[in-house]
Amino acid sequence: MKTPPRLYAVVVALSFFLSVADAQSTKLDRQVAVTIDDLPAGMADRLPASAITALTAKLLGTLRDQKIPVVGFVNEKKLYKTGEVDERIKALQMWLDYGFELGNHTYSHASLNQVGLKAWEEEVIRGESVTNLLLAPRKMKLRYFRHPYLDTGRDLLTRSQAEAFLVERGYRIAPITLDGWDWMFAGLYEDAKKRNDTALQQQIVKEYLAHHDAVFAYSEQLSVKVVGYEPKQILLLHASNLEADHIGELMDVLRKRGYRFITLEDALGDTAYSLPDDYVGEEGTGWLDHWAITQGKIPQGAPVFPQWVIDRTKELHLSTGTVTAPPPD
């Protein structure tokens, strides 16, 4: 029996729509692991312990409510402020109490490209002390390392020696593939918050969300060009009042793009993270760039970071002198 032409058309149209819907839902099964650096807080030098505790509780509360697994990377130097050591350690402890994991980000946020291999290795070891004490009763171990400034070495020998050192100490390097420079927005936000400038805070948040959305779109396209598909991505964020107040909205930006949240361990299972990578350079960068440059491709078309945020940050530095961190001692 022949199918009546009309019904046939309907069936064809339906199967077309179903396959489109199918393709879309397949395409939109994106996965991302969230990582947060510079614990207990990026601006720990300028914040009292009470503020660090408050922002930590707010940040972790949102992440726990939204069931988003996170690894936080610690700079233990930020714990040592006279009279506040106990409270600062407690803020770190909260990450574990809330069910999150901690990794090492060196003692004082040392760049492998600046301090040299030996000093940098000492930084890694010194960055383990308190974190190990907090992890031990939970039968947990430090297993992830994140390079400060994403600086992985200026030459291949240093890079491979540093990596061999990390492996020997039981670390897996935690690469990143998504990075919208939230720390840059966070500095300006912190200042606006301190001055109760709510209009500026809102403007910063709007820009921060829009810029991250653009970076995600760009990184997805770069992924396909470089990896051949969109791997399980790894997002880099920083512990700050900006994230404490607005990370939920940023997670919504990711959800709208079709992402679900996975552990770092799960993300690292993606074979993309064993792609050839011989990137070296003065400037640290994300792993999509590493792979692209290794393949002889120059990543192009990255979203431009909003100039007014850079300008305001510079102005702030000139007028208040509080934007740059104090020189390392």
Binding site for Zn ion (CB under 5 A): 37-38, 148
CB of 281 to Zn ion, least distance (A): 17
- Amino acid letter, residue 149: Y
Tell which residue, 130, 80, 79, 78, has the closest CA to residue 102: 130
CB of 170 to Zn ion, least distance (A): 21
CB of 148 to Zn ion, least distance (A): 5
Burial class (CB in 10 A: 0-12, 13-18, 19+), 193: middle
103 CB-near residues (< 8 Å, 6+ apart): 35, 71, 72, 73, 74, 142, 143, 144, 145, 146, 174
Please report, for residues 44, 51, 77, the alpha-carbon distance to residue 84 in angstroms, rounded to integers and kept in the order given: 11, 12, 12
Tell me which residue has tokens 């491709």: 297
38 or 220, CB closer to Zn ion? Answer: 38
CB of 183 to Zn ion, least distance (A): 8
38 or 289, CB closer to Zn ion? Answer: 38
CB of 173 to Zn ion, least distance (A): 14
| Pairing of β 233-238 and β 178-179 | parallel
109 or 143, CB closer to Zn ion? Answer: 109
CB of 238 to Zn ion, least distance (A): 7
Q: Residue 172 forms beta bridges with which residues? A: 144
Burial class (CB in 10 A: 0-12, 13-18, 19+), 7: exposed
172 or 257, CB closer to Zn ion? Answer: 172
Tell which residue, 81, 85, 10, has the closest CA to residue 46: 81
CB of 38 to Zn ion, least distance (A): 4
Residue nearest to Zn ion (CB): 37
Q: Is 72 left (phi over 0), alpha (psi -120 to 50) or beta?
A: beta
31 or 114, CB closer to Zn ion? Answer: 114
8 or 80, CB closer to Zn ion? Answer: 80
CB of 212 to Zn ion, least distance (A): 17
Using an 8 Å Cβ cutoff, are 253 and 213 in contact? yes
How far is 96 from 136, CA to CA, in rounded Å? 11
- Amino acid letter, residue 13: A
102 or 227, CB closer to Zn ion? Answer: 102
30 or 208, CB closer to Zn ion? Answer: 208
